[in-house]
Amino acid sequence: MIRTSIHTALFVGAALAPLAAASAQDAAPVAQGQVAAPAASDGLGEIVVTAQRRSENVMKVPLSVSVVTAETLVKRGVNDLSAVTKLAPSLQVAQDNTYSIRGVGTATFATTVESSVSQMVDDVVLGNGEFAANAFYDLERVEVLNGPQGLLFGKNASAGLINITTAKPKIGKLEGNADLELVTRDRPVKNGHGIQGRATLNLPVSENSALRLNAIYSGQDSVTWPEVNPKVRNDMGLRSLGLRAKYLWEPDTALSVYILGDYNRQRGVTGRYDITYRELGTGSAYTGLGLPSGTTNRIFQADAPNFRDTETGGAQANISYTFDSGVQLINIAAWKHMTTGFSFDSDETQYNFFNTNSAHQNYNQFSEELRLALPSGNRLTGQAGLYYFHSQLNQQNLLGGNNGLPSFLLPTFPFCVGATQLGAPPAACPVSNTSFLGQDSRFTLKQNSFAGYGQVSYGLTDTLKATAGGRVTYDKASIDLLENTGQYFVTLGIPNNHSVQSTDATNFSYKVGLDWQATPTTLVYGFYGRGYKGPGFSNTAPAPGANLAVRPEISKGGEIGIKTRLFDNHLTLSLSGFYTRYTDLQVQSWITVLRTFVLANAATATTKGVDASFTARVAPGLTLSGSATYADAKYNDFPGAQCYPTQTTGGCSATQSSFNAAGYQIPLSAKFSTSLGADYQHALTNTLDGLVSLSYYHRSSLSAGFGPAFQIPSWDTLDASLGLKAANWTLSVFCKNCTNAIRPISIGSDGGDASLSPAVLTLNQRFSFNSVRTIGVRAGINF
């Protein structure tokens, strides 16, 4: 565990303040993203985004985008992507790095399909969800692009895109910054603690080049209190290390060469596998075992190993050349790598019901993009490009357990688990089984994507502009899957099944729109488009030799909106309405006879609603902000939805395990979410400012599955910080989720009790760092 306390945190923070004050008095404060920083009495500064693959003022971009600047990330203590959800209400997070935008996300934990919400870092799409777990450091901004976004952003994104930009090297400047954060979190028995340190150094290499170096270390205790077996490996906390190097060379105004490399490592399961029991059903197999349960239960029990080891990294080169005409040619080549191995105790007990859930993944991707961009500001502007993406994932999985059977029964016939005397039954066992229940697989998944795209805008008048774009994509994927070669008394799936299959798809996605600059400060826009998510495979066969391929996921819809600046740029407002319909949704369904999930195109769905945001400079030094999303995301048709144990609606019964979930709220969707913030900076002396920051987040009940038992209750949280800021140092104390409104990030049905006859509904839940109250101190220094 992290051997710190809040008293230690306060002491170290206080010690850093005079150290910072004693450093160079003329040190410039570190830049916090591309935000013009007006004086306290001025209006709001511009926020520059790349939501259309070029730098633009967010108020001039004709689509809904939520922007979180570097300054806001630091003020709110946002250290990873999951915490962005409290600042961008259209974004929601669940387990296993699963995200949704406007209520639609990836409805499966299989790694054999793409994510509906894509992630891009420094102009490179990341094709595996493990990259989303990396900690934030030296960022410029995070953009959440609402709605289908695959047209300009390389890989397919049928529901939306998270666009992350890190800070570029600064030519001609020698500077750096560092910060330290120490926290304590609410936890049963004994509070958990954490430490995080980040550092950046910007070095001028020559008169036209610079190098920027970043490092981060984080060590966090587990969110839940672990009651585990001390004789096996248990990495219940989380230790993270990140290193990044960026080199920028600009020999003249035309050529720019930008080379980046990074390495990230994580060890530990907290934040991912903090699983506890929420409710034990009547007749549960766990009755009488003394297991804790409850809506706020955060005691994790296990007798099997719990660990996760993940490494990600890569390198990329962004090269651009601007011709005398203003036309820009950009080439981005990138390689990314990920390897992860994990195991956790699936039954969350100190008995062997289902002890093993383990996997090892090795992933590599290579992408190449060549793009030509016309200069902005002309009547005709736009861009076109070619894109190639290749990835390969090698994965091994093992699941199993002994169903809670007494150890003396296991080696004997008929169970034959760990049998030592083999022979003719029933006196002996014909085989030696690994476990009572079991499932294993190993596969190689290869994906290739080729695309050509273009989007142009033409000024019909000085204030009215038409935009049209299209993208032709050809995707080809193959899988070599071998399932269930191990020996089990009950095999979860098809024994000894070998599938070698391929699939491909050609798609045309497009976007057409109009935007009208009604006044110099007011933009009115509307568009209609078609989004696309490529084909993939089920990672489990429903029958021997079955077709595993799933078709592409298609979205069609539009948006109308208005963005305006009022009162001499002291108030900005954005409002948009949206409607999107999804067909061939890639969702997983439960196969009772196999006791496992399979993936298929089984649903259609619609999301419709409104996004709104505002920022106001109401007084010198005082800024108010807010954003909200109303999203009505429901299935139009889902005939293969899994009945939950004890369900009697929709025709579910002891003999029928699926139903049509038409009209149900889509998992990962909340009807209403809002975030409100207030930031105040006031001069205390000529060299010292006081800082106060408050933020409130509300989310209506979140759907984690079908039925009332899987609704995560509405959530209201308050974050606050109080600090001091000098020319070259800051010091603050803060709390996140100050009132300790404890909420899980997901609720699920226990598979063991679900397989009983009759089935029993027992609920488990997962927690994240945001689920509980965190109190801490943060100190930073610039030089």
Q: What is the dihedral of CA 154, 130, 279, 701, to 10 degrees?
A: -30
Q: What is the dihedral of CA 7, 10, 14, 19, to 10 degrees?
A: 100
- Model pLDDT, residue 265: 97
Residues 6+ apart with CB under 8 A from 55: 34, 48, 49
Q: Per the domain annotation, does 123 fall within a domain?
A: yes
- Asked which of 90-99, 462-471, 548-557 is least confident by mean pLDDT, the reply is 90-99
CA angle 454, 456, 462 (to 5 degrees): 170
Q: Which residue has the higher pLDDT, 158 or 412?
A: 412
Report whether pLDDT(587) > 90: no
Report whether pLDDT(769) > 90: yes
CA distance 212 to 410: 59
Report whether pLDDT(614) > 80: yes
Q: Per the domain annotation, does 544 fall within a domain?
A: yes
Strand pairing category for 536-537 and 497-519? unpaired
Report whether pLDDT(634) > 70: yes
| Model confidence pLDDT, tens digit, residues 320-363 | 999 999 999 999 999 999 999 999 999 999 999 999 999 999 99
Q: The tokens of 475 are what?
A: 């995707």
What average pLDDT does this structure show over 734-753? 94
Confidence band of 158 (pLDDT split at 50, 70, 90): confident
| Model confidence pLDDT, tens digit, residues 507-546 | 999 999 999 999 999 999 999 999 999 999 998 888 898 8
Q: Per the domain annotation, does 83 fall within a domain?
A: yes
Q: Per the domain annotation, does 444 fall within a domain?
A: yes
88: closest CA among 149, 143, 11? Answer: 143
Confidence band of 3 (pLDDT split at 50, 70, 90): very low
Question: Residue 487 in contact with residue 432, Cβ under 8 Å?
Answer: yes
- Model pLDDT, residue 508: 94
Q: Which residues form the domain of 66?
A: 6-782
| Model confidence pLDDT, tens digit, residues 666-722 | 988 999 999 999 999 999 999 999 999 999 999 999 988 888 999 999 999 999 999
- Model pLDDT, residue 596: 66
Mean of the per-residue pLDDT values for the chain?
90
CA distance 159 to 555: 8
Question: Residue 417 in contact with residue 468, Cβ under 8 Å?
Answer: no
Q: What CATH number is attached to the domain comprising 244?
A: 2.40.170.20
Q: What are phi and psi of 15, to 5 degrees?
A: -70, -30
- Model pLDDT, residue 29: 31
CA distance 474 to 45: 42
What average pLDDT does this structure show over 116-122? 91
Confidence band of 601 (pLDDT split at 50, 70, 90): confident
| Model confidence pLDDT, tens digit, residues 267-326 | 999 988 899 999 999 999 999 999 999 999 999 999 999 999 999 999 999 999 999 999
Task: Say which amino acid occupies 38.
Answer: P
Question: Residue 388 in contact with residue 368, Cβ under 8 Å?
Answer: yes
Question: Residue 386 in contact with residue 370, Cβ under 8 Å?
Answer: yes
Strand pairing category for 497-519 and 65-69? unpaired
| Model confidence pLDDT, tens digit, residues 41-71 | 477 888 889 988 989 999 999 999 999 999 8
Report whether pLDDT(38) > 60: no
- Model pLDDT, residue 623: 96
Question: H/E element holding 70?
Answer: helix 70-75
CA distance 745 to 668: 9
Question: Residue 488 in contact with residue 437, Cβ under 8 Å?
Answer: yes
Q: Per the domain annotation, does 639 fall within a domain?
A: yes
| Model confidence pLDDT, tens digit, residues 195-242 | 999 999 999 999 999 999 999 999 999 999 999 999 999 999 999 999
Question: H/E element holding 752?
Answer: helix 751-754
Report whether pLDDT(27) > 80: no
Q: Per the domain annotation, does 230 fall within a domain?
A: yes
> How far is the first Cα of the chain from the last one, in angstroms, to the nearest whole number?
33
- Model pLDDT, residue 592: 60
* Number of other CB atoms surrounding residue 340 within 10 Å: 19
Q: Per the domain annotation, does 556 fall within a domain?
A: yes
Report whether pLDDT(39) > 80: no
User: CA 236 from chain center: how many Å?
Assistant: 21
Q: Per the domain annotation, does 1 fall within a domain?
A: no
- Model pLDDT, residue 726: 96
- Model pLDDT, residue 164: 94
| Model confidence pLDDT, tens digit, residues 314-325 | 999 999 999 999
Query: Number of folded domains in the chain?
Result: 1
- Model pLDDT, residue 591: 65
What average pLDDT does this structure show over 457-472? 96
CA angle 530, 534, 451 (to 5 degrees): 75
